[in-house]
């Protein structure tokens, strides 16, 4: 078998799960919902993890080695470009672009291949023997990754090179043919892998076939022509499926447009219907699906809707925050099995973890600052925004109202941002309350947040009723448009 060689490959240390290398997870937030009928394991909590994915995978191996049924990843493509996240201010404010991640590799292709290689080796350890992995790529790098995957998973376990073809955006070049597809490499861990003939993954019939379909008392059919001894013949052929089993060219799934319900403002967001086909084909109910470049959370949202358990990870706080909001607002999203309807179900319980304690210093994306990096450095020394609330207590019932949010570094913020701030709440993207904080993990017991399609933020919580007397701590968490998280703690007494 041909192996790909590059600078640093032999020196690459592929970490393995042992007590000295495993970094413990820290709880960030817990979301508890009534059990969804889709799930059978009462003790399972889905996991959304903030952290560098190599460390995350290594820590997961102690508990999840050979436990994950499907891994889908959409890693950087080594494009050399920057990719943006769109942030809208308040209810009617402008939409601003923030760099979400940079796909630039200062040490060149060798660095990229080392990065991906050592992570793929670890991901293989997580897969069950019946598991599969799908890697979403494009023309920049797919040919290199194909050879690496042959080495790690075995060329005999290569299943498909899937072409996801979509309409090209407006491209002015006339120096080469317009590129309008991505590549998805599909490998299994062994020859005994899950692959389902599920009607929900089928592609639609062509317009020619659909126009030819008819219906009688026995079902849907078409006439198949032929001839015998020069005489034209035709017979009814009944169809059992509403479509055809997918080929390896998928041209029936559109890319994400800003006017769609699933749009999150993430420039490399993938369609839910793309993940629907992959998850239904390669997993069964209650299997674990993982995505270690989870981005806007598409894989996790679709896994949730299809009754699978999920683990997601991303290095960027903004991506984890976006996924948090997406999962919490799943009820208002498209039903993945009936796209024209809303999902109308709450998610199952999930937990946000952190691989290591994050940087407590305040930092703001440079796109939102007036001028230089020097100002950004000054900002590290400034105090956090100040949140003021009004607590209304009526016997054993409590409700909380936001009344002020002061940003002490407002003079450093660009005029473009400042002109969009009409009221204090325009700064706030999300806030949540733990009415019974016990110095352990923040339990999200009420929240309000803005989403791309729903910009209203409630400034007053629902009333919370305590069932017994005593002293309680209330913790309020806010995340603003800059991604800054602030915590405020209060003590109340219930008589």
Residue 439, domain member (yes or no): yes
Same domain, 385 and 316: no
Collapsing DSSP states into helix, strand and coil, what is residue 66? coil
Residue 489, domain member (yes or no): yes
- CATH number of the domain enclosing 478: 2.60.40.10
Residue 25: per-residue pLDDT: 92
Residue 206: per-residue pLDDT: 80
Task: Give the containing element (helix H, strand E) for 485.
Answer: strand 485-494
Residue 393: per-residue pLDDT: 93
The rounded distance, in Å, linking the Cα atoms of 219 and 453 is 41
Task: Give the containing element (helix H, strand E) for 61.
Answer: helix 53-64
Residue 124, domain member (yes or no): yes
Q: Which regions of the chain are under pLDDT 50?
A: 15-16, 19
Residue 325: per-residue pLDDT: 94
Residue 441: CB atoms within 10 A of its CB come to 16
Same domain, 59 and 155: yes
The rounded distance, in Å, linking the Cα atoms of 340 and 21 is 47
Same domain, 399 and 329: no
Instruction: Pull the structure tokens for residue 299.
Output: 């894989």
Question: Which pairing describes strands 446-449 and 428-437: parallel, antiparallel, or unpaired?
Answer: antiparallel
First to last CA, the chain: 75
SS3 content of the chain, % helix, strand, coil (to 5): 20, 35, 45
Task: Check: pTM over 0.75? Answer yes or no.
Answer: yes
Residue 78: per-residue pLDDT: 56
Write down which residue in 311, 332, 354 finishes a domain: 354
The residue assigned the tokens 């070049």 is 173
Same domain, 180 and 318: yes
Question: Which pairing describes strands 214-216 and 464-465: parallel, antiparallel, or unpaired?
Answer: unpaired
- CATH number of the domain enclosing 96: 3.40.50.150
Question: Which pairing describes strands 334-335 and 338-342: parallel, antiparallel, or unpaired?
Answer: antiparallel
Residue 373: per-residue pLDDT: 59
The residue assigned the tokens 């090179």 is 161
Same domain, 30 and 131: yes
CA distances from 204 to 207, 257, 384 (A): 9, 21, 53
Residue 287, domain member (yes or no): yes
Specify the number of domains making up the chain: 3
Contact criterion met (CB below 8 Å) for 358 and 484 = no
Write down which residue in 238, 256, 287 finishes a domain: 238
Residue 8, domain member (yes or no): no
Residue 133, domain member (yes or no): yes
The rounded distance, in Å, linking the Cα atoms of 146 and 362 is 41
The residues, ordered by sequence, that sit 6+ positions from 28 with a Cβ below 8 Å of its Cβ are: 50, 352, 353, 354, 441, 442
Residue 16, domain member (yes or no): no
Same domain, 444 and 330: no
Same domain, 168 and 184: yes
Query: What is the domain extent for residue 420?
Result: 366-494
Same domain, 324 and 397: no
For Cα atoms 152, 154, 160, give the angle at the middle one, nearest 5 degrees: 105
Write down which residue in 354, 389, 413 finishes a domain: 354
Query: Could you report the per-residue pLDDT of 245-290, keeping only the tens digit for each?
Result: 999 999 999 988 888 899 888 778 899 999 999 999 999 999 999 9
Residue 233, domain member (yes or no): yes
The string of DSSP letters for 334-396 reads: EETTEEEEE---PPPPEEEEESSPPP-S----GGGBSS-HHHHHHHTTSPPPEEEEEEEEETT
Same domain, 222 and 297: no
Handedness of CA 263, 265, 271, 276 (dihedral sign): negative
Look up residue 286 and give its DSSP letter: T
Same domain, 347 and 370: no
Residue 294: per-residue pLDDT: 94
Same domain, 67 and 174: yes
Same domain, 466 and 425: yes
């Amino acid at each position: 078998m041909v192996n790909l060689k590059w600078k640093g490959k032999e020196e690459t240390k592929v970490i393995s799960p042992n007590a000295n290398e495993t970094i413990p997870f820290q709880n960030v937030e817990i979301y508890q919902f009534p059990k969804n009928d889709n799930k059978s394991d009462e003790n399972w909590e889905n996991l959304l993890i903030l952290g560098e994915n190599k460390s995350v995978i290594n820590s997961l191996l102690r508990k999840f080695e050979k436990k994950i049924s499907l891994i889908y990843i959409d890693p950087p493509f080594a494009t050399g470009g920057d990719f943006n996240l769109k942030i809208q201010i308040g209810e009617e404010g402008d939409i601003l672009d923030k760099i979400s991640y940079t796909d630039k590799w200062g040490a060149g292709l060798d660095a990229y291949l080392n990065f991906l290689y050592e992570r793929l080796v670890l991901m293989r350890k997580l897969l069950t023997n019946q598991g599969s992995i799908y890697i979403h790529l494009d023309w920049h790098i797919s040919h290199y990754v194909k050879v690496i995957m042959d080495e790690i998973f075995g060329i005999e376990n290569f299943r498909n090179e899937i072409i996801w073809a979509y309409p090209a955006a407006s491209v002015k070049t006339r120096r080469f043919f317009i590129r309008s597809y991505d590549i998805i490499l599909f490998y299994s861990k062994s020859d005994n892998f899950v692959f389902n003939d599920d009607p929900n993954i089928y592609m639609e019939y062509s317009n020619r076939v659909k126009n030819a379909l008819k219906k009688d008392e026995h079902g849907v059919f078409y006439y198949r022509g032929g001839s015998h001894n020069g005489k034209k013949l035709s017979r009814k052929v009944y169809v059992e499926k509403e479509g055809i089993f997918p080929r390896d060219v998928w041209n029936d799934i559109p890319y994400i447009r800003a006017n769609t319900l699933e749009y999150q403002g993430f420039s490399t967001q993938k369609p839910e219907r793309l993940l629907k086909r992959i998850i239904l084909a390669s997993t069964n109910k209650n299997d674990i699906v993982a995505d270690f470049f989870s981005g806007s959370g598409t894989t996790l949202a679709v896994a949730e809707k299809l009754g699978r358990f999920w683990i997601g990870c991303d290095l960027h706080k903004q991506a984890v925050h976006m996924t948090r909001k997406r999962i919490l607002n799943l009820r208002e999203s498209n039903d993945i099995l009936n796209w024209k309807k809303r999902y109308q179900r709450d998610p199952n319980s999930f937990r946000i973890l952190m691989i290591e304690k994050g940087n407590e210093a305040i930092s703001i994306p440079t796109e939102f600052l007036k001028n230089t990096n020097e100002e950004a450095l000054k900002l590290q020394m400034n105090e956090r925004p100040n949140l003021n609330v009004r607590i209304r207590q009526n016997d054993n019932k409590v409700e909380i109202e936001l009344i002020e949010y002061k940003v002490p570094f407002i003079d450093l913020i660009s005029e473009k941002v400042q002109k969009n701030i009409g009221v204090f709440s325009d700064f706030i993207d999300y806030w949540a309350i733990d009415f019974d904080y016990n110095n352990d993990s923040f339990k999200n017991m009420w929240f309000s947040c803005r989403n791309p399609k729903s910009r209203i933020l409630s400034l007053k919580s629902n009333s919370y009723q305590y069932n017994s007397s005593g002293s309680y701590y209330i913790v309020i968490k806010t995340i603003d448009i800059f991604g800054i998280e602030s915590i405020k703690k209060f003590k109340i007494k219930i008589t």
